[in-house]
Amino acid sequence: MPGTVLVIAAGGLGPNAVWGGILHRAAELKGAVAVIVDGCIHDSAEICASPVPCYACGTVPAGPQKGWGGEINCHISAGGCVVEGGDLVLADDDGVVVVPGDEQEAVRARCGARAIAERAIVERLEAGEPTVAIFDL
C-alpha cells in the first residue's frame, strides 16, 4: 500500500461519514499518500492535521457508518468518474481529476505545455503589461 492513493466510492453526500480519523491514521501508517472520498468524512480537524491529504464531498458530525463491505483494486465510479487501479489521480482544493493509464503521457505533455504558457503570461504581467494586451481583449 505504500504510495497508494485511496479512492473511496461512497455515493456522494450522505448523513453519515464513511471515513474518519482512525481510518485515516491507519491509511497513513500503511503509507497511503492521499485519500479521495466520494462521500462525507468525520474528524476533519484531525484529518487536516495529517500529512496525508484527504479530499471529500463534505463533512458531517455523524460518525462513520459501520458494517459495510468493500473491494480493493477494482473498477469503481466515484463522483461520476470511472477509476481503475493504475490510473493517475490528482487532487487539490479545486477538485479531483482521474487520468486513465493509456492517456497519462499525452496529458503530462499537455500540462507541461500549459505550465510553460502560463509562466510566460505571469512574466508579462510582472513586466507591467496589462491583461487587455496579453489576452488581446
What residue numbers bound the domain in which 40 lies? Answer: 5-98
User: What pLDDT sits at residue 65?
Assistant: 66
User: What pLDDT sits at residue 8?
Assistant: 92
**Span 20-37, average pLDDT:** 95
Condensed to tens digits (0 to 9), the pLDDT of residues 65-85 reads 676 677 777 888 888 888 988
CA distance 115 to 119: 6
Q: Are residues 89 and 116 in the same domain?
A: no
> What's the half-sphere exposure (Cβ side, CA atoms, 13 Å) at 18?
23
Q: How confident is the model at residue 93 (pLDDT cuts 50, 70, 90)?
A: confident
Q: Are residues 18 and 58 in the same domain?
A: yes
Residue with more model confidence, 78 or 111: 111
Q: Are residues 63 and 118 in the same domain?
A: no
User: How many structural domains is the chain composed of?
Assistant: 2
